[in-house]
Structures are given as structure tokens and as C-alpha cells.
Copies of this chain bind each other. A is one copy, B any other.
Amino acid sequence: MTKKYVYRFEEGNAGMKNLLGGKGANLAEMTNIGLPVPPGFIITTEACKDYYDQGRRFPDGLVDEIRTHIQNLAKKLGKAFGDPDNPLLVSVRSGAPVSMPGMMDTVLNLGLNDKTVEALARSTNDARFALDCYRRFISMFGDVVMQVEHHHFESILAAQKERRGVTHDHQLTAEDWREVIARYKALIQAETGRSFPEEPMEQLTMAIQAVFDSWYNDRAIVYRKINRIPDDLGTAVNIQAMVFGNMGHDSGSGVAFTRNPSTGERRIYGEYLTNAQGEDVVAGIRTPKPIEELARELPAIYKQFQDICELLDRHYRNMQDIEFTIERGRLFILQTRNGKRTAQAAIKIAVDMVNEGLISREEAMLRVEPEQLDHLLHRRIDPDAALEVIATGLPASPGAAAGIAVFDADTAEKLGQEGKKVILVRNETTPDDIHGIAAAQGILTSRGGMTSHAAVVARGMGKPCVCGCEAVRIDPLQKMFTVNGVTVRQGDLIAVDGSTGRVILGEPPMLDPELSDEFRQLLEWADEIRTLEVRANADNPEDAAKARAFGAKGIGLCRTEHMFMGPDRLPRMQEMILAETADARREALEKLLPLQEGDFYEILKTMEGLPVTIRLLDPPLHEFLPNAEELAVEVAHLKFTAPESPTLHEKEELLRKVRALSEFNPMLGHRGCRLGITHPEVYEMQARAIFNAAARLVSEGYTVFPEVEIPLIIDAGEFSLLKNLIDRVAAEVQAATGINFEYTVGTMIELPRAALLADEIAREAEFFSFGTNDLTQTTLGFSRDDAEGKFMHRYLEHKILANNPFAVLDRKGVGKLITMCIQAGRAVRPGLLVGICGEHGGEPNSIEFCHQAGMDYVSCSPYRVPIARLAAAQARVINDGLVQKDYGTK
């Protein structure tokens, strides 16, 4: 039995996305619920996969199967492929299981040739229209299928307009199109050495092959990498009878969302163009009209469309993104899919749909991508600030960002990798710009609407975007733009406000974000659903307060080293480090004690009633001293310029000490609790500062829960030694003050040996907190600073690693170790408190792992607390099977 590679729309449904692709499955679904969908059929993703498996050759039987379906389709419409009287014309479109907008190729009007174009002219009684269709087909086919670059076709068209002395396409006559067509064909012949294929079946098989091939074109590969889509899904191919939106003023094309994709408002939101094909709307070349105008222009059609939107919104229980065409007063639906939306819209739609009774609270959790929340949680422009607004465009993706203006994607990527903040400024973006958009803080385009490429992609990535800002005149070669007399060159600072459309000169002051009511509602539901607690990493009272406001239930990591970096503290810290005797060291530490005590007092007070994990000093001491190479150069200079100066001597002495402290591999060196072992007086001072602060707060009536954390443990004996020291100091402070306070002593698990010996360590330690950055470094043997700059990209390219393991927790390796560690630890101490405090604690995929591994909490930066709350709820919903898995909800 051979495989079935082709499905009629009537044979499929929305659940068959993996086989039929998203577009095809939805066309099938709509056909079966009775919507006006032009008839057609789908070539499955299996066919694509087999095509690749066989070295880019069509699998046996596929061409025959396609021929049969084309004949059946033609018969149904009373047409025939290549028929000189009644020719069948079709569109050929890719459709992957996961939406990849604009990433792959489409061919329209397929079936036209020198003969059938005349039939089309006769049947429409419009030779100019038919020839226009034909020349569009030839250029699209030439570009997409025969690899003749698009600009060659553009040049021919431009030359024709120049010859005719006209400026717009619609000013060209049928005769002009005949000449253009002849030139197009000659171009193809010259560029490819092949003639343009007149035979429709040949056109079709070539187009299908081109769609298959497009699965592995460069931009598709990049898109999949950015969006973490597996390469082995393959694409389906949709073949559908053509309908024409460009048959006059009772025709048109448009796209619409069943709800507002920017705000989530429950109202159809869309754009259309009369006398245009769909490509014209999304290309952003003509600025389309708002969908409301259709009510005036074609009221019956508008009413019908409204009803269909309502139906699809309820049928899919999700906001839909719908493409439609009106052919001579008749409405056709060409596509529906779950609409991309801003985080703000996603939240509002999810909460609204719960309130409308369409979905459950658990389902609502899955309707918002946690990562997307990120930009709702970042800054907006201070409304009270005086701004130099130089232009206003469309508010295409909300949030504000500032950066230096950059005029091409490559430069944006390059500067982005150097850590620079950039705003990508383009006339319009294309899929070739994806890497630049990914690297930019924000996007500004001079052309295109809310559904233009730039707008869609920016919303997907959660980046601020201002679109269609036509006042801005961009000169990409000169790397500058001018607007209202202002010139902005590459490197100048600008800001975009994607919520209002404003473009601003300089870097305006920004404000902290606030959470909308719906956002709060969603997070409250998330808190009810999730079982994983969320804490924040905060090193100072301000961050602690922010964390609390964002819903953190404690501090999971309070680093104490930043406290030594202040200008009033660093000199004392250096004094301590450079002390030659234990006495001198103690003296320096005594000066630091009251400062540390003040830090802890404020943080513990801010987190009153909640636990605060305080990590004792962790980084190597040389981090507090000047750089050796710089000092050496300074010394070399001084030897020439001031060989007798006492400064030279001092610097030489300092250099000697810095050298003595310098390390080959500081990450694996004298740091963490190793400092506590060799310099117990430092940990003693810190413990005393914590307990003094706790005692003061208790005496003032506060309830505090300090959790003292010992970093970089490798052995239970090492832990006990330091725990004994801490317990002794606690007892001393309690004895001296007469005040009792609660505290626990636990450890970070950040080295493989600690994870391997978790049972022994858990006998002593009251909590474990995974420091997954270091644990990743040691488990993989990757120094993060070195790996990310030097070889990580290759590991991702070759797919040796699915993700950067510093961004997304490496479940296979590090995760295995963590799972073993928790099991072993809980086996000896069933109530062992377990959390994570690496950056992974704020990353949704990693949070899901933490839920599965049975951790008690994740801890992340304050701004990511809401993301973590939602991700923790999602993890619960998915892992505990609280809703049926619902394809395409995101």
C-alpha cells in the first residue's frame, strides 16, 4: 500500500496540523463547517519529509496523485488545467505545522500561459486584468520557482513605465503588459537558460518542488532557530482554486483579527484594499483602509464577514487572524489561524474568554506566552518628561526602547552582539531582516501598516515597533534619515514608543511598568493554580521592594558581594584583602560590619514575614582589586616617566599582591565557601551582621526569616565546619542581645560533587538552592564568558545543544544531576526546602523543569517575577494534565 500524500479539504480537520500544516488543516476545518472557502487540496508534510529523505526527489506516486486531484478539482468547477476556454487557475502555498509567516514561498495564478490568459481575458472581459495576472504570475514564478532575482523583474517594469512616461502600474495598458510579459520571458530564458514553462502541470510540479525547497531556505532556517521550531516537521503544500480580489471595485482583499491584536479589545480589527490581491495588503506598499470602512462600501459583505469572525472566534475558542478575498461581490475566506498578539492583548483576550465562558482559567494560563510578558514589565517613557518628538508613526508593537539608530540588519546584529542597544530603522522590513530585528531594542519603519512584516515580527518578539512613519526619509546608503528638518545619523541616540507611535530624539527618561487589571487577574489565577513558589533575587532594599510588588514570596538570593563595591566600602574591602596580619584583617572587617548590618536590616525589614536567603561572600577576592595587566602597563609607564616616584613603588607592590591573588581559572578558584574556610573571619563578620540585624528587627516587632546560604559547597564536612561557625555566632548574638530569632543554614548546589553527595549534605543543610549558572559551567565544562563568545554558536548551529544552556536549563545533563540531587537530599531530609536561584529561575522552559523536579520555589530577577508566576502555573497545567493539549493555542 502506498502512502496517501494528498487530502481534499473535505477530508481534513483542524486537528491534523502535523500532517496538513496549519493553513491546510484550518482550510479543511472551515470547509467542513460550511464557510465559503475556495475548493482545493493539500499535499502532506509526509510528502515533504519523504522528498528530503530521498535526496530532494518526489516520492513514487505523488505526481499521479496530484494529477488526479487537479482533475477532480477542475471537474468540480467545470474547468480544466490548461483549457483554452475555461482554464483552472490555482494558488500554491506552503503551510507548515507551526506558523512561519512570510518565511516560505507562494505562487498565485498558476495555470496561466499564453493560451489560458486569453481565456481569462474573454471570461472576465478584461484583457488588461488577465495580462496583469499573467505578468504577476510570471514574475512570481520566475522569482520563487526559477530563482531569477526579483529586482530584474522590477527593472523591466520600471523601464516600461519610464517609456510610457507614467508613474503607476495601473496607468499601463494591456499592450504594455504584453510587452512586459515578453521581456519577462526573455529575462527568464537569459538568466536560467530555460524557457518559462507553458504547461500547467509542469508549472504545478515545479511550484510544489519550490515550496518543498523553501523549507530549507536561509530565512526559514534562521526563523526556526530563533523560534525553536524543529527542522524535521516539513511543510505541507496547499493547492487551491484562485479567487481574484483585483477584479474591480466590487472586489478586494483583506486581513482581520477577531479581536484587537494590540490591545485585546473584543472588536474586529483589520484592514483591506479594494481591487487588490492579498499580497498587496500585507506588503505594505499601498496603505490599506480600516475594516470598518467595508461596512460603508459593501455593507452586506461586511455583515457576512462579521458573522464569520464571530463564528470562528467561538469555534476555535481563540482570537483568529483571517484572510479574505471578495471576488465581484462574493466573499471567500482564504485562511484562518490563531492570531499573533501583543502580550497585553494576549492577557486581555485570555481573561475575557474566561469571563465569556469560552475557556477555563487553566486554559487561560496557556494563552499567554510568559516570555512575551517581558516587555510589559519593562520601562515606558516618563509621561511627564519633556520629549523631542520628531515624528509619529503607527503604534505597531507596544513598549518603549532607546538605542542608537542603525540602518541595516547586519550592523544591528553586530552591534547587538557587542552589547550595544540599537534601534533598527528601515523603509520596510523583509524576512531577510529577521536577525537584525532580533538584535534590536526597537524597530522603526517608514512604510507599512499594523500588519506589515515589521509589525508582526516585532509583536511576536515583544519588541517596541513604530511602523509606517512616512515623514521619516531614510537614506540607507548614507546611513541616515531626515524628518522635519532633523537629521539622524547612524550612532545617534533615538527612542521609539511602540504604544503611541512616537519617535523621539535622544534617550528619554523611562518609568517602571505597572500591571493592568487583567494582568493582575491572570496572575492571581496563576497563583491559585501553581504549586511552585516564586521568589526574587535582590541585593538591596529597592529591588526587594520591587520584587514584593511584583508578587515575590521571598528573596531566593541576596548576594552580599555587591554590597562591598560601593565607594565607601571598596577601600575597606581592599584593606581587608591586602592585610598582612590577621589583626589588620579583623580591623578592616570591623569597619565593614556596621555597613553590612545596615544592608541586612533594610532588606530583612522590607521582606518582613517572608524568607530571605542571604549568600555569604562568593566571588574571588581579586575581583575587588585592580586588573593585573593594566597595573603592569602602568608600572612599565612609570618606569619611564617617573622612575623615582613612590607611586611606582606602591604600584609595584600592589601588582605583586594582585599577581599573588590572580588565578588561572577564577571560576574554579579561591572563591565561595573556600574563602570562608581560609578566611573564617570574613564569614564570621557577615553572620554577625545578619544576626545583629535580625535581633534588632525582632526587638522592633518585625518577623524575619533569614536563611544563611553557604556557596560552592563540595562536601558535608566543609558545610558543617562553616555551619558550626554560623551557629556559634548566632548563639553569641542571641546571648549578647537576649533576643531569639529564627534562622536556617543551607547551601547552594552549584558543583557536581555537591549534587552527587546530596544525601550527606542534606543531613546538615536545611535548604538547597541550585546555582544553575555555575552548575552548568562545571557540568558542561563551559566557562560562560568564554563559551558564548567563542564556540557556543557552533554548538547551536550543529544542534549539539538544543538551546544555549545558560539561557534554558540543560535538562539532559544538568537536569539529570538536579533530579538525582533532589531525590537523594529528600531521601534523608523529607522536608528539605529546594529552590533555584540561577537566571534559569526566570525562564519558562526551565521553570517547567523545576516544577517537574519537585522544587519548592524558583527565584528570579524582580522584573521576571510575573513571568515566573505564569510559567509556574503553565507548568502545573501542562504537567498535571489540567487541560487537554490544544494545538495552536499559542
Q: Is A122 an interface residue (CB 8 A)?
A: no
Residues of B within 8 A of A782 (CB): 668, 714
A314 at the interface (CB under 8 A from B): no
At the interface with chain B, which of A391-399, A413-421, A791-799? Answer: A791-799
Task: Please report the C-alpha to C-alpha distance between residue A814 and residue B756 in the assembled complex, in whole angstroms.
Answer: 9
**A750, A753, A801, most chain B CB atoms within 10 A:** A753
Q: How many chain A residues touch the partner (CB < 8 A)? A: 56
* Contact A798 B717, CB 8 Å, known A633-B636, A640-B640, A791-B674: yes
Tell me whether A777 and B668 are in contact in the complex, defined as CB-CB below 8 angstroms, given that A753-B813, A757-B813 are known contacts: yes
Given the interface pairs A721-B800, A813-B714, A813-B757, the reply to whether A668 lies near B752 with Cβ below 8 Å is no
A783 on interface, CB distance cutoff 8 Å: yes
A508–B714 Cα distance when bound, in Å, is 46
Q: Are B794 and A677 in contact (CB under 8 A)?
A: yes
The answer on a CB contact under 8 Å between B717 and A678 is no
Quick check: is A817 within 8 A (CB to CB) of the other chain? yes
Stretch at the interface among A96-104, A491-499, A658-666, A833-841: A658-666
* Bound Cα distance from A783 to B778, whole angstroms: 11
Contacts of A667 in B (CB 8 A): 664-665, 668, 781, 783
A790 at the interface (CB under 8 A from B): yes
Q: Is the CB of A800 within 8 A of B665?
A: no
| A782, chain B: closest CB distance, angstroms | 6
Distance between Cα atoms of A640 and B718 in the complex (Å): 52
In the assembled complex, the Cα of A779 lies from the Cα of B750 at a distance in Å of 10
Q: Indicate if A670 sits at the interface (CB-CB under 8 A).
A: yes
Partner of A668 from the list B629, B783, B810 (CB cut-off 8 Å) is: B783
Type the 1/0 row for A636-669, where 1 means its CB is closer than 8 Å to any CB of B. Answer: 1100100000000000000000000001111111
Q: Does A816 contact B (CB under 8 A)?
A: yes
Query: Is there a chain B Cβ closer than 8 Å to A580's Cβ?
Result: no
Per-residue B-contact encoding for A793-821, CB less than 8 Å = 1, 0 else:
01100111100000000101110110000
The reply to whether the CB of A285 lies closer than 8 angstroms to some CB of chain B is no
Query: CB-CB < 8 A to A779: which residues of B?
Result: 751-753, 756, 778
Shortest beta-carbon distance, A786 to chain B, in Å?
4
Interface mask (A546-564 → B, CB under 8 Å = 1, otherwise 0): 0000000000000000000
- Does A785 sit at the interface, judged by CB under 8 A? yes
Q: How far is the CA of A751 from the CA of B810 in the complex (A)?
A: 14
Asked if A816 contacts B778 (CB within 8 A), the reply is no
Q: In the docked arrangement, what's the CA distance between A665 and B620, Å?
A: 13
- Is A628 an interface residue, CB under 8 A from the partner? yes
Contact of A783 among B665, B791, B800, B810 (CB under 8 A): B665
Residue A678 contacts which of B715, B791, B799 (CB distance < 8 angstroms)?
B791
Q: Are the CB atoms of A718 and B665 closer together than 8 Å?
A: no
Q: For window 33-48 of chain A, which residues contact chain B by CB distance below 8 Å?
A: none
CA distance A501 to B523 in the complex (A): 85
- Minimal beta-carbon separation of A402 from chain B (angstroms): 30
- Indicate the member of A718, A774, A786, A799 with the most B CB atoms within 10 Å: A786
Report the minimum CB–CB distance from A71 to chain B (whole Å).
46
Q: Mark A399-439, 1 if CB is under 8 A from B, else 0.
A: 00000000000000000000000000000000000000000
A780 at the binding interface (Cβ < 8 Å): yes
Query: Roughly how many angstroms separate A810 CA and B714 CA in the complex, as a whole number?
Result: 12
B663 touches A786 (CB 8 A): yes
Q: Please report the C-alpha to C-alpha distance between residue A813 and residue B721 in the assembled complex, in whole angstroms.
A: 19
Provide the A734-760 mask, 1 if CB < 8 A to any CB of B, else 0. 000000000000000011110011000
**Looking across the interface, which residue of chain B has its beta carbon closest to that of A721?**
B798
Q: Is the CB of B670 within 8 A of A791?
A: yes
Q: Provided the pairs A778-B778, A781-B714, A781-B774 are in contact, do residues A670 and B752 lie with their beta carbons within 8 angstroms?
A: no
**Chain B's nearest CB lies how many Å from the CB of A803?**
13
Known: A667-B668, A721-B800. 19 other contacts (CB 8 A): A629-B632, A632-B632, A664-B667, A664-B783, A665-B666, A666-B786, A668-B777, A668-B782, A668-B787, A669-B786, A670-B790, A677-B794, A677-B798, A714-B780, A715-B812, A752-B813, A752-B817, A756-B816, A774-B781
Report which A residues bind B (CB closer than 8 A): 628-629, 632-633, 636-637, 640, 663-670, 672, 674, 677-678, 712, 714-715, 717-718, 721, 750-753, 756-757, 774, 777-783, 785-787, 790-791, 794-795, 798-801, 810, 812-814, 816-817
Provide 16 A-B residue pairs closer than 8 Å at the C-beta atoms, listed in order of the A residue: A640-B640, A668-B777, A668-B782, A669-B786, A678-B791, A712-B781, A714-B800, A718-B795, A718-B798, A751-B781, A752-B752, A753-B813, A753-B814, A756-B817, A757-B812, A778-B781
